[in-house]
Structure 1
Amino acid sequence: MSNIDNIGWYPGHMAKAKRYIQANMSLVDMVIELRDCRIPESSKNPNIQKVIGEKPKLIVLNKSSLADKTTTDKWISCLKEEHTNTVAVDCKSLQGFNTLIDLIPQMMSEKLEYFQRKGMYGRNLRAMVVGVTNVGKSTFFNTMSRTKKAKTENKPGLTRTTQWIKTPYGVELLDTPGLLWEKLENKHIAINLALTGAIRDEVIDILEISWVLCEKLRDKYPELLAERYKLTDISGVGHEIFETIARKRGFLISGGGIDEERCATMLLEEFRSGKIGRISLETPEEIL
């Protein structure tokens, strides 16, 4: 995975977003950090925690319907042991959404009592929403506001502007563009971010990352891999499994070769959309 090592992708809008977060942290009562439920550790940007400081934080593991539920439950238990408020949600299916809405006033009860003592009736909580790119922030905003104001698409870095978004749940949300690291030096994190689409496909080798996906599925979810692509033997290395899938799907070119780009694009799309099944790429046992 030579081109996955030391990925450098830090567009100007990300540096601007970091400065904006720092400058406006004093305006909010709490921070909602969105992470990808399939990669709760890899989608945690350490730069975000440095900026947040001591603000109350709620971790929202988004896209939970795409992740292995057993693994998600382990992550929630692990994070709660660290005294971190955590909830798994899927904003498209609304799975876990009511739990999220109930948890916000519970964890901010002291602040709400302060508002009452000061006669600040009608004062909503204010929360800054942060997260890495392509973690589903736009869909989160739309779900919370019950509108479709934020443009959504499965591409990283789409939400570029900052804005306050009102909700009917007693909290106003401050939108911020997604953030990535200045430089991704951890190979494990870089691969997971690439697989889930947080890093644009244009700056990685989608063929190599597809081989890695095949090996991860072979090791973690062999039944799902075999069932989805009608495979009888998945004992090979990544590129061998990849070639077998390409031939099974009829992705052939003249001369008997395979259409590598077409197969790689298909594999990544089917993983990211959940067509292969509910898959988590990392567990607490592997990380902690």
Structure 2
Amino acid sequence: MRLQQILRDASKFRAVFDFGARDIAHWFPGHMAKGLKQMKANLKKVDCILEIHDARIPFSGRNPLFQESLDVRPHLLVLNKMDLADPSSKQRVLKQLGGKGAENVLFTDCLRQRDENVKKIVPLVMELIESRPRFHREEDTNYCLMVIGVPNVGKSSLINALRRTNLKKGRASKVGGEPGITRAVLSKIQVCERPAIFLFDTPGVLSPKIESIETGMKLALCGTILDHLVGEDIIADYLLYSLNRLGKFSYVDRYDLEEPCDDIQHVLKRIAVKLGKTQRVKAITGVGDITVIMPNYTAAAYDFIRTFRKGQLGRVTLD
């Protein structure tokens, strides 16, 4: 789409998202509180912390409760799902994170069979560990890492990628497309033989109080909060707002729209028609019953959101 048309269309879009009286769901079930407690109890056995976060939201949603853990152990921040994030944002993100004490940052795509950055993790971790004394662990020849992060950012995928890269072995942690797959701190999982490195997988833990509705919507859009707790209709509307704000208009061609649109009902109607997600409904009128073809807005919203999460609407960085 030509630059002039993009600039012309931008004037039609919402400058801010109206949340109305909505409040984001604070999703902190019992297994999260239990997992956080177990993580703290196991810190004395850990040489380095691997914090995994979604590269599309490099600032939003990083749990402040992890901070005390990060302060007492060497720390590597892995921004996963880089294949879904806008590559042009990488240097800006690195610059901002460097000013927040997160200089050790690596971007990964753990679902790729061969990701060169996954190969860098073990050397980076060993460099970080050797830069500090190993209190109470001087005699232990094995190394232990702890993987932490909010839900559904790819912690288990990273563990499996490390095993695939360093041990040539298959998955050890269950992977799923929804938050909440890992529900307890598991026993040690080996990810490297030379040196001998093990790690603890942990459940995704959100902050008990998300700092703002805007942050909550970004978390929901990236799948770190269960959709039904927020509502797929509002998530789909926030997605449309975000794509228009960022000038990402690939949804127009994908769903056969005539032009970019800021009306979620119109967009969902077009999606439903294109996908054949419609239903016949009888309506009573003054001249008798008639059959009306109604779009299935819920199914359309579901497709719109899932298509974004697969990266099929373009590579997007929301922060």
Q: Name the TM-score, length of structure 1 as normaliser.
A: 0.87
Partner residue, 1:86:
105
Higher helix share: 1
CA contact (8 A) 2:150 2:224 kept: yes
Residue 44 (structure 1) aligned with residue 62 (structure 2): yes
CA contact (8 A) 1:8 1:184 kept: yes
1:106 to 127, 132, 135: 127
2:299 to 254, 262, 265: 262
SS of residue paired to 1:222: coil
Amino acid at match of 2:317: S
Partner residue, 2:286:
none
Amino acid at match of 1:107: L
Amino acid at match of 1:280: T
**Cα offset, 1:32, TM superposition:** 0.7
CA RMSD of aligned residues (A): 2.2
**Identity in percent:** 31
Q: Which moved more, 1:57-66 or 1:239-248?
A: 239-248
CA distance in 2: counterparts of 1:24 and 1:131, whole angstroms: 16
Amino acid at match of 1:14: M
What CA deviation, in whole Å up to 9, does each residue of 1:136-192 have, x standing for no partner? Answer: 111111111232121111010101132211112633211111101213351111101
CA contact (8 A) 1:135 1:198 kept: yes
Provide closer, same or farther for how the CA distance between residues 83 and 14 of structure 1 changes in structure 2, counting only shifts above 3 A.
closer
1:202 to 228, 244, 253: 228
CA contact (8 A) 1:31 1:58 kept: yes
CA distance in 2: counterparts of 1:134 and 1:221, whole angstroms: 26
Amino acid at match of 1:190: G
CA distance in 1: counterparts of 2:37 and 2:49, whole angstroms: 16
SS of residue paired to 1:108: helix
Q: Name the TM-score, length of structure 2 as normaliser.
A: 0.79
Amino acid at match of 1:36: D
Gaps of at least 5 residues in structure 2 are: 1-18, 165-169, 281-291
Q: Which has the larger radius of gyration?
A: 2
Provide closer, same or farther for how the CA distance between residues 194 and 23 of structure 1 changes in structure 2, counting only shifts above 3 A.
same
Aligned length: 277
Residue 224 (structure 1) aligned with residue 219 (structure 2): no
CA contact (8 A) 1:5 1:190 kept: no
Amino acid at match of 1:35: H
In the TM superposition, what are the counterparts of 1:10-25 in structure 2 within 5 Å?
A: 10-25=28-43
Q: Which moved more, 1:51-60 or 1:189-198?
A: 51-60
Amino acid at match of 2:201: D
CA distance in 2: counterparts of 1:26 and 1:33, whole angstroms: 17
Amino acid at match of 1:165: I
Partner residue, 1:158:
181
Provide closer, same or farther for how the CA distance between residues 160 and 4 of structure 1 changes in structure 2, counting only shifts above 3 A.
farther
**Cα offset, 1:59, TM superposition:** 0.4
Provide closer, same or farther for how the CA distance between residues 206 and 18 of structure 1 changes in structure 2, counting only shifts above 3 A.
same
Provide closer, same or farther for how the CA distance between residues 99 and 239 of structure 1 changes in structure 2, counting only shifts above 3 A.
farther
